[in-house]
């Protein structure tokens, strides 16, 4: 049995609050991709376009698809990272990326960030990707429910994106597909506005994917349209119609389980990844910001990030430099002003601590 794309829909809508659209997509069967860019002064648009452009050229089919998709995603990461590093107009840009490739009997997925891939089979909707976001992380640790996550003020903060780091970890999976399966790739502008029950309902109730896609965008806008909304849909059919009728579709969860694996590359950097926060539209704010505090041993320390913790174990900062100066040894007035957690530039924070170490700080 060989599958092919029978029907497809792809559209990106600016939504009701954003001025520009920093999402990007490609829908060129058998390959589909959605990217949601972030970064000031339209840099997000550049990042998301670079991400999807990596999949415009043809892809080899068969074994090794996951590795091939992950390799393309990593190449895109390097291009985005280098442009962000070398060109001030693009500093701090990043993007999510979700890709799906139809490969005979499987749909192969590569994924970074909080855009999502779903499959609708026999009326049931299943999410195939994990969100690389703070709230996603907290849900997986059992510290937040899905419902709480949907309302969380930090729900748009993502923990993995193409661009911010020179090396990126790409999730991949091979999903054994069936004729009739409908796949949805979308940016968080859809899923933050329309719940999964409503997504499933629209997909079940509509006769064509164009109608479904347009209704999903309408519902996201009706709910506020706070972000760019990108919807890519495709439905699979068998290439050659067999003489025997197709077997009934099994309920969701039955049948072979998708192989899920992570492609390994470079150092695994969980802590650094969390610290390398990308707030939607605010990457620069969380990344290029430093503050001075004291560490567990009471030493004056320069931190990169924001002086907050989410839950008990997710820090929005990382230690960058530990001075040899015990905070307790400082006069109270100076200590208070020094350790005020005020957000500073890196140079400002470093200079402050250097002066302190030289004993030259004004009392």
Residues forming the site for Mn ion (CB under 5 A): 36, 187-189, 227
Between 225 and 258, whose beta carbon lies closer to Mn ion? 225
Q: How far is the CB of 269 from Mn ion (least distance, A)?
A: 24
Is-cis flag, bond preceding 205, omega within 30? no
Burial class of residue 336 in the structure, from the number of CB atoms within 10 Å of its CB (0-12 exposed, 13-18 middle, 19+ buried):
exposed
Between 92 and 189, whose beta carbon lies closer to Mn ion? 189
Q: How far is the CB of 36 from Mn ion (least distance, A)?
A: 4
Q: How far is the CB of 198 from Mn ion (least distance, A)?
A: 18
Q: How far is the CB of 228 from Mn ion (least distance, A)?
A: 6
Between 68 and 227, whose beta carbon lies closer to Mn ion? 227
Residue 304 CA to residue 287 CA, distance in Å, equals 7
Between 133 and 323, whose beta carbon lies closer to Mn ion? 133
Q: How far is the CB of 187 from Mn ion (least distance, A)?
A: 5
Between 187 and 286, whose beta carbon lies closer to Mn ion? 187
Between 103 and 219, whose beta carbon lies closer to Mn ion? 219
Residue 166 CA to residue 257 CA, distance in Å, equals 33
Burial class of residue 146 in the structure, from the number of CB atoms within 10 Å of its CB (0-12 exposed, 13-18 middle, 19+ buried):
exposed
**In sequence order, what are the residues at sequence separation of 6 or more whose Cβ sits closer than 8 angstroms to the Cβ of residue 263?**
66, 67, 70, 169, 170, 171, 172
Structure tokens that stand for 160 in this block:
């993995």
Distances (CA, A) of 245 to 110, 249, 278, 356: 33, 12, 49, 79
Q: How far is the CB of 101 from Mn ion (least distance, A)?
A: 23
Between 158 and 203, whose beta carbon lies closer to Mn ion? 158
Between 158 and 233, whose beta carbon lies closer to Mn ion? 158
Q: How far is the CB of 292 from Mn ion (least distance, A)?
A: 33
Between 77 and 187, whose beta carbon lies closer to Mn ion? 187
DSSP letters spanning 117-182: EEEEETTEEEE-S---BHHHHHHHTTSS-HHHHHH-TTTT-BS--BSSSSS---EEEEEE--TT-E
Residue 346 CA to residue 39 CA, distance in Å, equals 19
Between 103 and 188, whose beta carbon lies closer to Mn ion? 188
DSSP state of 329: G
Q: How far is the CB of 194 from Mn ion (least distance, A)?
A: 13
**In sequence order, what are the residues at sequence separation of 6 or more whose Cβ sits closer than 8 angstroms to the Cβ of residue 220?**
13, 15, 189, 190, 193, 194, 229
- The CA dihedral of 314, 320, 326, 330, to the nearest 10 degrees, is -100
Burial class of residue 72 in the structure, from the number of CB atoms within 10 Å of its CB (0-12 exposed, 13-18 middle, 19+ buried):
buried
Q: How far is the CB of 38 from Mn ion (least distance, A)?
A: 8
133 phi/psi in degrees, rounded to 5: -135, 165
Q: How far is the CB of 186 from Mn ion (least distance, A)?
A: 10
Residue 43 CA to residue 89 CA, distance in Å, equals 7
């Amino acid at each position: 049995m060989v599958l092919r794309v029978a029907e497809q829909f792809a559209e990106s809508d600016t939504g009701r609050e954003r001025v520009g659209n920093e999402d990007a997509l490609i829908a060129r069967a058998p390959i589909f991709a959605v990217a949601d860019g972030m970064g000031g002064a339209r840099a997000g648009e550049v990042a998301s376009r670079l991400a999807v452009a990596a999949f415009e050229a043809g892809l080899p089919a068969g074994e090794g698809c996951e590795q091939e998709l992950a390799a393309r995603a990593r190449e895109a990461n390097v291009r985005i990272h280098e442009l962000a590093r070398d060109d001030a107009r693009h500093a701090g840009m990043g993007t999510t990326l979700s890709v799906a490739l139809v490969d005979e009997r499987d749909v192969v997925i590569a994924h970074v960030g909080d855009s999502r891939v779903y499959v609708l089979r026999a009326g049931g909707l299943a999410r195939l990707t994990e969100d690389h976001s703070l709230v996603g992380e907290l849900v997986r640790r059992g510290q937040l429910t899905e419902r709480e996550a949907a309302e969380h003020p930090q729900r748009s903060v993502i923990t993995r994106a193409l661009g911010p780091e020179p090396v990126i970890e790409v999730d991949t999976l091979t999903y054994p597909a069936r004729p009739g399966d409908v796949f949805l790739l979308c940016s968080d502008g859809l899923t933050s506005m329309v719940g999964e029950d409503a997504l499933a309902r629209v997909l079940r109730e509509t006769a064509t994917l164009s109608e479904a896609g347009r209704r999903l965008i309408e519902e996201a806008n009706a709910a506020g349209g706070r972000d760019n909304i990108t919807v890519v849909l495709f439905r699979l059919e068998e290439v050659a119609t067999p003489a025997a009728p197709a077997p009934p579709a099994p309920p969701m969860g039955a049948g072979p389980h998708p192989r899920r694996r992570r492609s390994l590359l470079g150092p695994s950097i969980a802590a650094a990844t969390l610290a390398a926060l990308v707030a939607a539209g605010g990457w620069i704010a969380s990344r290029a910001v430093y503050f001075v505090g004291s560490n567990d041993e009471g030493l004056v320390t320069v931190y990169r990030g924001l002086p907050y913790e989410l839950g008990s174990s997710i820090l929005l900062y990382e230690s960058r430099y530990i001075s040899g100066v015990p905070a307790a040894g400082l006069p109270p007035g100076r200590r208070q002003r020094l350790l005020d957690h005020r957000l500073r530039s890196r140079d400002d924070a470093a200079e402050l601590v250097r002066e302190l170490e030289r004993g030259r700080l004004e009392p």
